[in-house]
Amino acid sequence: MKNLKILLVDDEEEFVITLAERLELRGLQARAALNGEAALQMIEADTPEIVILDVMMPGIGGFEVLRRIKKQHPQLPVILLTGRGSEKEGIKGMQLGAFDYLMKPLNIEELIKKMQEAIESHP
């Protein structure tokens, strides 16, 4: 899983930058987008191998970003993150095509395990 290209999408700047740094320390390539519009532009410019996407964001919300990703890149695995959400939100996201969802605060080892499962299930 080394050199895996990951796009992190979250409007909480400190959270997403810290998460990117922690993933890079593990040999992964993590880029960050602070909103849905930037994320969609980054995906078109240089498609990552996996997207970690926050559900609750101002502007284009996570579910709409997920819909657009799946329309343009149906094989691109997406894992949703939710801080204020519920299991119901996670289930809705999976119905829209997300691989899985995780609750914040995030366990980095659990995230890496989920990313590995998502990559293996999307050859």
Maximal C-alpha separation, the chain: 33
Q: Which two tokens stand for residue 33?
A: 């987008």
Taking only the tens of pLDDT, the chain with its 123 residues reads: 678 999 999 999 999 999 999 999 999 999 999 999 999 999 999 999 999 999 999 999 999 999 999 999 999 999 999 877 677 888 889 999 999 999 888 999 999 999 999 999 976
Kindly give the interhelix angle for 36-45 and 62-72, rounded to the nearest 10 degrees: 20
Please indicate, yes or no, whether the overall pTM of this predicted structure exceeds 0.85.
Answer: yes
**DSSP SS3 for 20:** helix
Beta carbons of 73 and 40 less than 8 angstroms apart: no
For the beta carbon of residue 20, count every other beta carbon within 10 angstroms.
Answer: 20
pLDDT at 17: 96
Contact 43, 52 (CB under 8 A): no
What single letter denotes the amino acid at residue 80?
L
What's the pLDDT at 123? 66
- How is residue 35 annotated by DSSP? S
Q: Kindly give, in sequence order, each residue whose CB lies less than 8 Å from that of residue 44, ignoring residues fewer than 6 positions away.
A: 72
5-121 domain in CATH 3.20.20.140? no
- Alpha-carbon distance of 57 to 16, in angstroms, equals 13
Do residues 82 and 94 make contact, with C-beta atoms less than 8 angstroms apart?
A: no
